[in-house]
Structure formats: C-alpha cells, structure tokens
Homo-oligomer: A and B are copies of this chain.
Amino acid sequence: MEKLDDIDEQLLKLLGENSKQTIKELADRVNLSHTPVFERVKRLESNGYIKKYIALIDAEKLGYGLIVFCNIKLKQHDKRIGHEFVTDILRLDEVVECYNISGDFDFLLKVYAKDMKHYQDFVFNKLGSVTSIGSTHSTFVMSENKNTYNVNF
C-alpha cells in the first residue's frame, strides 16, 4: 500500500468534515480536475482509508439527552468472561461505544439515554443481567464541548 500524498490527505480531511461535497467541489478545493480527484477518492475508499459514509443524527432531537460514561469492572479476568461481556454489550442499544481500557476498570462504555430514569433502568435491568460484570461507576456528561468524529491529522 503506497503512502498518501498531500492531496490525498486534503481529500480525507474535506470528506471527513462533509461528505456531501461533489467531486467537482473537491476538485476545485485541491486545484485539480475532477478525474484525478474521482480516482483518488475511489482509491481511498478501496484501500480502506475511508471506512464508510454516514449521516450524523441529532440524538438530543430524538429524546436522547443524556450521555454517560460507564466504567465497568469484570468479576474475573479470563478470556472467556471478557468475550462473554463484549458479546452481551454489543446487543445493548444504549451502548454506542465500548473500549477495553487500562487502569482500575476493565471497560469504558459510552451510553446514550433519554433521561436519568432511562439510565437507571439501563443499569439495573440491562447491565444488571450481564453476569460477567463485577461493578460499575458512572460519569455523567454535563456538556459536550467538542466532537470531531474523526482524527485530526
């Protein structure tokens, strides 16, 4: 896999900010004609630099006004329990992100809930029935000050 040049990086940045720009618009921004830009974008897609294109949905408008980071400690630390935990977690709609982390806890979840009642129900009923969990610690988000959704390279 060849390295990216400056133009490729510019295209990734532009598409990472707004993927609805046309090939022609991108071409104008990087001072090329549309053909090479088209080919470069296709190459960035097929080489996996661009993973996919998505719409960003406003969670608050859908009633999901609460973001919580939920730290999880497992009961035991063998591979089977860890795998079991991840499998169970992937099923939960409230969990939008899940990381295996260093430190006092084993996993960090980012959870979207409608309100505190919903979150309480999530912890007691959904996390409560994931048997691999030892303990949890919740950190509530009061405001989101930045989210770029992509690496800033």
Which of B15, B99, B144, B149 is A143 in contact with, Cβ under 8 Å?
Answer: B99
Interface residues on A, range: 35 or more
Q: How many copies does the complex hold?
A: 2
User: Of A30-38, A89-97, A126-134, which stretch is located at the interface?
Assistant: A89-97
User: Is the Cβ of A57 less than 8 Å from the Cβ of B151?
Assistant: yes
User: Is the Cβ of B62 less than 8 Å from the Cβ of A57?
Assistant: no
Q: In the complex, what distance in Å separates the CA atom of A18 from the CA atom of B53?
A: 6
Q: In the complex, what distance in Å separates the CA atom of A140 from the CA atom of B102?
A: 5
Q: Which residues of B contact A57 (CB under 8 A)?
A: 12, 15-16, 49-51, 150-151
User: Is the Cβ of B96 less than 8 Å from the Cβ of A139?
Assistant: no
Q: In the complex, what distance in Å separates the CA atom of A144 from the CA atom of B69?
A: 15
Q: Which residues of B contact A103 (CB under 8 A)?
A: 139-140
User: Is the Cβ of A99 less than 8 Å from the Cβ of B145?
Assistant: yes
Point out residues on A near B: beta carbons under 8 Å: 4, 12, 15-20, 47-59, 61-64, 67, 69, 86, 89-90, 93-103, 107-108, 112, 139-153
